[in-house]
Amino acid sequence: LSERIQNALSGLRKKGKVTQTDINQATREIRLALLEADVNFKVVKEFIAKIKERALGSEVLDSLTPGQQIIKIVNEELTQMMGESAVALNKSDKIPTVIMMVGLQGTGKTTTAGKLANRLMAEQKARPLLIAADIYRPAAVDQLKVIGNQLEVPVYEEGVNNSAEDIVRHGMQQAKENKNDYVIIDTAGRLEIDESLMDELKNVKEIAQPDNIVLVADAMTGQAAATVADGFNQALDITGVILTKLDGDTRGGAALSIRSITNKPILYVGEGEKLSDLDIFHPDRMSNRILGMGDMMSLIEKAQQDYDEKNAQELAEKMRENTFDFNDFIAQMDQIQSMGPIDELMKMIPGMANNPALQNINIGEKDIAHLKAIVYSMTPEERENPDILTPSRRRRIAAGSGRNIQEIHRMIKQFKQSKEMMQKVSKGNTSDLEGMLGG
């Protein structure tokens, strides 16, 4: 599907002038992508309206690369909708800070309680106490005890014969006596939300006065996760969400739906069954995942990050002064090489894909190695003054680099061409050059 979006968008790119119909078509593809990622349909509708509004604005219509511009907007809006990254848990002024885990059965509450304890110990040298308040399955208490053993964290439990309320009351007391700085309460879940479960959780909330009520939601449940999150939030006023099972093949639509419906932050994501498999939530990564265009976006990011702006300016300066030489040529090759797969990178750079000046400069990793070998076989003087490369010097360079003489001729010709091209650009408009180089 990501291919479908790309097709729709590259259609825009070729056209130059964008019409309302084009944008409608592009947003239709994006809409399908979101629905396919199992984002709640109401959330999708809202989102598309926002994209359309921005896409019809001048930033896209006047852009030379409307396709890319729309991807950028979609990504920005998605990221923004999913909220800040790295939202921390609430921390109480006085110990203990209380974290209450809630959620449907099987979503990962018990495992995630352990993961949180593990993380707090690693990050803050915390001394947490786990409370086993799921009294409906004996196995649930045992499961928490196993986790506690693994982490060497105390678990407060009374088996399954007392009420959850009593267990939590007693557990809180023990935490105070033992001066635990965190209490993590593992509660019961059901297959679906029901009133008796909510009543019990409300009571536990009343007793424990938690600083955090963390909803644990299974990312694999897609649209349904949003409805469930809404229910828990209305009943308990949750403070944040942990999305589990993102190591599966889900596209992560649940993240967008839950965030958008509850307006509560996603704190962490679970990416495996091990107690160390808990990561900070990154809205930008999730947005890529939802759109199914992770590879493409990371390429764009890469090109932007890795290109050192200072180098771009120095290069532009050299162009203007006409002092670009083989040393700069090598530096430029290094720069391009360090950014990753060259073919894809070249296509990502606005204007490069169809730039006729580049049609016959077919650069691959191997070619760059050869070009470098040739330059390294030149004397320092030759590198600075391409004009002194007489036929006998060229033969010497060919022998030195192990390339044949035709290659040397071709390389010098390419060098002169690219120098000329850059000069043209730099005389016209330096921002073009910088844009071209990914600045």
Instruction: Report the binding-site residues for GTP.
Output: 103-110, 186-190, 244-247
The CA angle 216-297-312, to the nearest 5 degrees, is 135
Binding positions for ligand GDP, rule: CB under 6 A: 103, 105-111, 189, 216, 244-245, 247, 270-273, 277
Q: Which residue lies nearest Mg ion, judged by its C-beta?
A: 110
Tokens of residue 21, six digits: 């119909």
Q: Does 185 bind Mg ion (CB under 5 A)?
A: no
Identity of the residue, 201 or 378, whose beta carbon is nearer to ligand GDP in the bound complex = 201
Q: Output the DSSP codes for 105-142.
A: TTSSHHHHHHHHHHHHHHHH---EEEEEE--S-HHHHH
What backbone phi and psi angles, to 5 degrees, belong to 315? -65, -45
Identity of the residue, 71 or 254, whose beta carbon is nearer to ligand GDP in the bound complex = 254
- Exposed, middle or buried by CB within 10 Å (0-12, 13-18, 19+), for 61? middle
Q: Does 140 bind Mg ion (CB under 5 A)?
A: yes
**Of the ranges 75-83, 133-141, 253-261, 323-331, which one interacts with Mg ion (CB under 5 A)?**
133-141
Identity of the residue, 190 or 427, whose beta carbon is nearer to ligand GDP in the bound complex = 190
Shortest distance, position 136 Cβ to ligand GDP, whole Å = 10
The CA angle 239-118-122, to the nearest 5 degrees, is 105
Shortest distance, position 228 Cβ to Mg ion, whole Å = 16
Q: Which does 106 bind (CB under 5 to 8 A by kind): ligand GDP, Mg ion, none?
A: ligand GDP
Q: Which does 273 bind (CB under 5 to 8 A by kind): Mg ion, ligand GDP, none?
A: ligand GDP
- Range 102-121, binding Mg ion (CB under 5 A): 109-110
Question: Residue 429: which H helix or E strand, with range?
Answer: none
Shortest distance, position 106 Cβ to ligand GDP, whole Å = 5
Distance CA 335, CA 417 (A): 19
Q: Which does 205 bind (CB under 5 to 8 A by kind): Mg ion, ligand GDP, none?
A: none
Shortest distance, position 236 Cβ to ligand GDP, whole Å = 16
CA dihedral 31, 26, 53, 261 (to 10 degrees): 10
- Exposed, middle or buried by CB within 10 Å (0-12, 13-18, 19+), for 318? middle
Residue at token pair 């060098």: 415
Residue 170 half-sphere exposure, CB side, CA atoms within 13 Å? Answer: 13
Identity of the residue, 136 or 294, whose beta carbon is nearer to Mg ion in the bound complex = 136
What length does the chain have?
439
Identity of the residue, 93 or 249, whose beta carbon is nearer to ligand GDP in the bound complex = 249
Residues that bind Mg ion (CB under 5 A): 109-110, 140
